[in-house]
Structure 1
Amino acid sequence: MQKFWTTTLVALALSACASDEHIVSTAQLTVVDTAQGLPVPTRQDLTAADRPSLIGPLDTIQVDVFNIPDLTRELQVDASGRIAMPLIGAVDARGKTAAELGQAIEAALRGRYVRKPEVTVNIKSSVSQVVTIDGQVVEPGLYPVTNQMTLIRAIASAKGFSEFAKQDDVVILRTVNGRRMAGLYNVAAIQRGAYEDPAIYANDVVVVGDSPQRRMFRDIVSVAPLLAAPLVALVQ
């Protein structure tokens, strides 16, 4: 009897959550069929003329300190967005322009070591173009886009799905030729080989949907024994 009421409660909860809202095309957004796939962004889509280049994890930069050869060097930004400079130690570079980082290094040197430092920073190579991974993943955030990044690899970068992730409701948002587009993907189907794992490009936004059914199931399972106990007592 207890099993009967538990099953009934779960069925009712799942039926109540059965209607999900799906992403639809609007004047500002074009939803692309999964079979067709999202178009590849153009070079203009990957950069913005009004947005300065920002330093990020794994970028390679050149730091030149005028008249101090021992401090002039090529550095790679580490995964946490920092560089290590002689005398001053770790400096946070992430999210700074080259000029801003140069000013930060000048300030650190001026405080203790160099009377009038002149620092120039140049970005030599950048892999810091990022994808935004949001929604029901373990660690949402910005992640560097490297060669051959795909949807599944992007989710893995964010430590995988969270407890309430809806694997058949994963959206990739992308700008192509200035037009905002979206594709809805089923990661479980990709893993089964139903269709190819789509490529991820810089400036993409990946949003993993939330499953109300999973949340309700957990809640119902946790309270079902308490709800069923009085009913069992009545029929005994």
Structure 2
Amino acid sequence: MDSMRKTIWSALRIPLLLLCTVCCSGQQATANVTKSAVSTSGLPDTRSSAATTAYTIGSGDVLNVQVWKEKELSQVVVVRPDGKISLPLLGDLPVIGKEPTQVEEMVQTRLQSMVVEPHVTVTVAEIHSRMVYITGEVARPGAYPLNTPITVLQLIAQAGGLTEFASKKKIQVIRANNKRDQQLLNYKAMTQSKDGHSDVTLNPGDTVVIP
């Protein structure tokens, strides 16, 4: 009888051990998933803010200031000519020349005495301070936001390209900081240049004229 019991126990021991191992692993995995969900859920997504951290805020820009779970403190504001914005409880804040992440830190620091663990995100909703202009014989003349460095050829492409009437050898760049600093460019030379030296990088306020 004892021999039979030992035989049965030996046969059942391995399956029972495997079953216990699977159950423990499942509980641990569930705990890890639950912990991850708790640690990441509920907080606002700040990826859009991170995308704009390299941008320097200027006068006329529109900022979207969001304070988590504080709807009354969240505002869409325009940067005034004096370089400041106005927010509830905080009043006027200087933001010109700062990056969005710097404004986030400033607002968050000032709210700490008024809001429990404030979480602030600042994004640039509209760009109006850094613009370049193109006029004349292009498909879409006008003002274009300078989100990233741009060249004359890139601006022409954004404007839909040259029209059939464009004078390709007399493209003019007028610098905003010095109206007398004007350059004449040749479209064909720029497009055929292998090193890109014939192309010109534009600065905020510059105007490209296509006669």
TM-score bracket relative to the smaller structure = 0.3 to 0.5
Structure ranking higher on relative contact order (CA contacts 8 Å, 6+ apart): 1
Give me the TM-score of the superposition, normalised by structure 2.
0.45
Give me the TM-score of the superposition, normalised by structure 1.
0.41
Q: Indicate the structure (1 or 2) with the bigger Cα radius of gyration.
A: 2
